Amino acid sequence: MPKWSKEVLIGFVPVLLIFLAFLGINIVPIIVAAAMVGALLVITHMRGGIAVNAGAEKKRKKNGPAKLTFEEIGGQDNAKQELREALDFLIRHEEISKFGIRPLKGILLTGPPGTGKTLMAKAAAHYTNSVFVAASGSEFVEMYVGVGAGRIRDLFKDARTRAVKENRESAIIFIDEIDVIGGKREGGQQREYDQTLNQLLTEMDGIYNSETPRILLIAATNRKEMLDPALLRPGRFDRHIQVDMPDKKGRKSILELHAKNKPLHPDINLEKVAEEAYGFSGAQLESVMNEAAIYMMRDNLTQVEDRHLAMAIDKVMMGEKTDRETNHEEKKRVAIHELGHAIMAELLRPGSVSQVTLTPRGQALGYVRHNPQQEQYLYTKDYLEEQIMIALGGAAG
């Protein structure tokens, strides 16, 4: 039920009761019945809550102890290196405290979705032989003030007790989507979020070097600019590691990792696939390998071939083929439109068009696939003008 409708209901019911009483109707039985229904709802909600917590507990147990190693993460060489260096603080804690260096309490992983932030946190737990406890920012969002803060307390308690039980010296708490609870506090209505964030800050302040198990918080977000400065100040999340979209080399190594358990035809060149999958994240590359294996199965074959990978790239890029019925006139218009893009692209960059398709996929009725581009981080004015011309080529057609 949306929040506003709950609030409307809370306001409407007393008014209705007063109105009925005013009309001379005996409202006592209504109130008793409502109280009984309310009590029943509270009991079911609590049971649901327990079930949800049990679910979360189960999920955490499934998450840890983390077995994933840094070698199982493709690309991201810089991020992995930075993270390993930061984690050495946790491992070499005695040396660090001897020199009076304060413990590292929080590491913030930032970057686009699906680039491997969760994998990094798991690998960090493996590298430091820590217990791994994971939660997502959205798990702390509740309508009732104090519930989120309570969950933060439980999370830290859970990490400590599990580390003691499993006889480990440290625990890593991973909070995904930290921006949900760690957004800037600007006063106003967000009181529940404020309490949750305050609790998180308090728990972080309570982490000491001397204490065992030692706790390290790793958080992930793709909206760092939205975070409250209190979270980012020295002594809290003061290590920021950028987990970027993989470059061609990174894409190739991610594809290799996900190809390990799949039967690939010996002719397949993963370097070429990595080139074709320009701009794909790790999660998308995993999906490409998975979809290619599905296409292979559909063809009743036992080895993934080049065309399966090409179809998988199209699917991940554009979406599944749709069975949208288009009439002749529409097909003609789509063909002219796509050819407009293609002719313009060929005029400006000869040999750049690899495929023109009129099969509807996802939201598109047709599309032009361009040959793999070089990794490019800076664009020239000429390049951007060419892009605009190619885009307008469709309309001209």
Interface with ligand ATP, residue 84, by CB under 6 A: no
Binding test (CB under 6 A) with ligand ATP, winner from 129, 198, 222, 303? 222
Rounded-to-integer distance, Cα 203 and Cα 221, Å: 20
Instruction: State in Å, rounded, how far the first CA of the chain is from the last one.
Output: 49
Q: Give the Cβ contact number of residue 124 at 10 Å.
A: 26
Return the closest-CA partner of residue 57 out of 116, 133, 171, 2. 133
Q: Is 279 a residue that touches ligand ATP (CB under 6 A)?
A: no
Residue in 56, 66, 68, 73 binding ligand ATP, rule: CB under 6 A:
73
Q: Name the token pair of 132.
A: 């791994």
Query: What's the min distance (Å) between Cβ of 363 and ligand ATP?
Result: 22
- How far apart are CB 245 and ligand ATP at their closest, in Å? 10
Comparing CB distances to ligand ATP, the nearer of 111 and 360 is 111
76 belongs to the binding site for ligand ATP (CB under 6 A): yes
Q: Give the HSE-up count for residue 276: Cα atoms under 13 Å, Cβ half-sphere.
A: 24
Q: Does residue 366 touch ligand ATP according to CB under 6 A?
A: no
Which residue of the chain is nearest ligand ATP when measured via CB?
A: 282
Among 63, 70, 87, 118, binds ligand ATP (CB under 6 A): 118
For residue 394, state whether it binds ligand ATP (rule: CB under 6 A).
no
As given in the structure block, the two tokens for residue 317 are: 């890029």
Report whether the peptide linkage leading into residue 213 is cis, meaning its omega lies within 30 degrees of zero. yes
Q: CB of residue 112 vs ligand ATP: minimum separation in angstroms? A: 7
Q: What's the full length of the chain, in residues?
A: 397
Tell me which of 338, 346, 375, 386 is the catalytic residue: 338
- Strand residue runs (E) in the chain: 106-110, 131-136, 170-176, 214-221, 237-242, 353-357, 367-370
Cα 95 to Cα 167: distance, rounded to the nearest angstrom: 22
Indicate whether 116 belongs to the interface with ligand ATP (CB under 6 A): yes
- What is the size of the binding site for ligand ATP (CB under 6 A)? 19
Cβ atoms of 122 and 63 closer than 8 Å: yes
Instruction: Select the span of 70-78, 93-101, 299-307, 345-353 touching ligand ATP (CB under 6 A).
Output: 70-78
- Applying CB under 6 A, the span of 96-104, 259-267, 268-276, 282-290 interacting with ligand ATP comes to 282-290
The answer to whether 122 and 66 are in contact (CB under 8 A) is: yes
State the Cα–Cα distance between residues 226 and 184, nearest whole angstrom. Answer: 6
CB 397 within 8 A of CB 343: yes
Count the helix, strand and coil residues of the chain and give each as a percent rounded to the nearest 5. 55, 10, 30
User: Using alpha carbons only, what angle is made at residue 199 by residues 194 and 201, rounded to the nearest 5 degrees?
Assistant: 95
Binding mask 135-174 toward ligand ATP (x if CB under 6 A, else -) reads ----------------------------------------
Q: How far is the CB of 24 from ligand ATP (least distance, A)?
A: 59
* Contacting range for ligand ATP; rule: CB under 6 A; set: 69-77, 147-155, 163-171, 312-320: 69-77
Report residue 168: phi and psi, to 5°.
-110, 155
Amino acid, single-letter form, for residue 127: Y
**72-80, 83-91, 320-328, 383-391 -> range binding ligand ATP (CB under 6 A):** 72-80
User: Candidates 34-42, 52-60, 229-237, 281-289 — which segment interacts with ligand ATP by CB under 6 A?
Assistant: 281-289
Residue 378 φ/ψ, nearest 5 degrees: -125, 140
**Residue 203 falls in the annotated catalytic set:** no
Options 11, 38, 48, 113; binder of ligand ATP; rule CB under 6 A: 113
**117 binds ligand ATP, rule: CB under 6 A:** yes
Least distance (Å) between residue 86 CB and ligand ATP: 18
Q: Is 220 in the site for ligand ATP (CB under 6 A)?
A: yes
179 touching ligand ATP, by CB under 6 A: no
210: helix, coil or strand?
Answer: coil
DSSP 185: P
| Interface with ligand ATP, residue 114, by CB under 6 A | yes
Binding site for ligand ATP (CB under 6 A): 73-76, 113-119, 176, 220, 222, 254, 257, 282-283, 286
Residues tagged active-site = 338
